[in-house]
Structure 1
Amino acid sequence: MAPRTEPPFRADHVGSLLRPESLLDARAAHAEGRLDADGLREAEDAAIRDVVALQEEIGLQAATDGEFRRTSWHMDFIYQLGGITKTDEQIRVRMINAEGEGAFTSAGLAISEKVRLREPIFADAFRFLAEQTTTAVPKLTIPSPSMVHYRGGTAAIDRGVYPDVEEFWNDLSAAYADEVRALAELGCRYLQLDDTSLAYLNDPAQRAEMAAKGDDAEHQHLRYIRQINAAIADRPSDLFVTTHMCRGNFRSSWAAEGGYDFVAEALFGELAVDGFFCEFDDERSGGFAPLRFVPPGKQVVLGLVTTKNGRLEDADALKRRIDEAAKYVPLEQLCLSPQCGFSSTVEGNSLTLDEEIAKLRLIVDVAQDVWG
Structure 2
Amino acid sequence: MSQTHPPFRADIVGSFLRPAALKEARVQFQRGAIDASVLEKIEDEEIRRVVEQQEAAGLQVVTDGEFRRAWWHFDFLEQLDGVTGYKGEQGIQFQGVQTSAKQIRVDGRVGFNPEHPMLDHFRYLAGVANVMPKMTIPSPSVLHFRGGRKKIDSGVYPSLDAFFADTADAYRDAIRAFYEAGCRYLQLDDTVWAYLCSEKELQAARDRGDDPDQLQAIYAEMINHALADKPDDLYVSLHVCRGNFRSTWISEGGYEPVAETLFGKVGVDAWFLEYDSDRAGSFDPLRFIPEGHQQAVLGLITTKVGELEDPQAVRARLDEATQFVDKQQLCLSPQCGFASTEEGNNLAEQAQWDKIRLTLEIANAYWGQG
- Do both proteins adopt the same fold according to a TM-score greater than 0.5, normalized to the shorter chain? yes
Distance in 1, matches of 2:214 and 2:152, equals: 19
Shift of 1:106: 3.5
Shift of 1:89: 3.1
CA contact (8 A) 1:84 1:111 kept: yes
Instruction: For 1:270, give the aligned amino acid.
Output: K
1:184 corresponds to which of 179, 182, 186: 179
CA contact (8 A) 1:308 1:351 kept: yes
1:92 aligns to what SS in structure 2? Answer: coil
1:250 aligns with 2:249: no
1:219 aligns to what SS in structure 2? Answer: helix
Q: Percent identity?
A: 48
1:282 aligns with 2:277: yes
Partner residue in 2 for 1:269: 264
Q: Deviations over 1:161-189 (max 9, x none)?
A: 12222111111111111111011001100
Partner residue in 1 for 2:219: 224
1:140 aligns with 2:135: yes
Partner residue in 2 for 1:108: 103
CA contact (8 A) 1:16 1:64 kept: yes
1:159 aligns with 2:154: yes
Instruction: For 1:72, give the aligned amino acid.
Output: W
How do 1:1-372 residues align onto structure 2 when only pairs under 5 Å count?
3-90=2-89, 92-96=91-95, 101-121=96-116, 122-134=118-130, 136-296=131-291, 297-372=293-368
Distance in 1, matches of 2:161 and 2:90, equals: 24
CA contact (8 A) 2:141 2:190 kept: yes
2:166 aligns to what SS in structure 1? Answer: helix
Distance in 1, matches of 2:257 and 2:91, equals: 24
Distance in 1, matches of 2:240 and 2:80, equals: 22
Shift of 1:29: 1.3
Instruction: For 1:293, give the aligned amino acid.
Output: F
Q: CA RMSD in A?
A: 1.1
Q: Deviations over 1:244-265 (max 9, x none)?
A: 0010000101000011011001
Q: Measured at CA, do residues 301 and 120 of structure 1 come closer, stay the same or move farther in structure 2, by a change above 3 Å?
A: farther
1:46 aligns to what SS in structure 2? Answer: helix
Distance in 2, matches of 1:80 and 1:277, equals: 25
Distance in 2, matches of 1:106 and 1:47, equals: 27
Runs of 4+ aligned structure 1 residues displaced above 6 Å come to none
CA contact (8 A) 1:307 1:338 kept: yes
Which runs of 5 or more structure 1 residues have no equivalent in the other structure?
A: none
Q: Deviations over 1:234-277 (max 9, x none)?
A: 11111000000010000101000011011001110000000000
Shift of 1:120: 4.4
Shift of 1:91: 5.8
Which runs of 5 or more structure 2 residues have no equivalent in the other structure?
A: none
TM-score (norm 1): 0.96
Shift of 1:60: 0.8
Q: Deviations over 1:95-129 (max 9, x none)?
A: 01xxxx11224333222111111224301100000
Instruction: For 2:177, give the aligned amino acid.
Output: A
CA contact (8 A) 1:7 1:240 kept: yes
CA contact (8 A) 1:199 1:246 kept: yes
Distance in 1, matches of 2:74 and 2:356, equals: 26
Instruction: For 1:288, give the aligned amino acid.
Output: F
1:56 aligns to what SS in structure 2? Answer: helix
The count of residues paired between Structure 1 and Structure 2 equals: 366
CA contact (8 A) 1:93 1:255 kept: no
Distance in 2, matches of 1:226 and 1:103, equals: 32
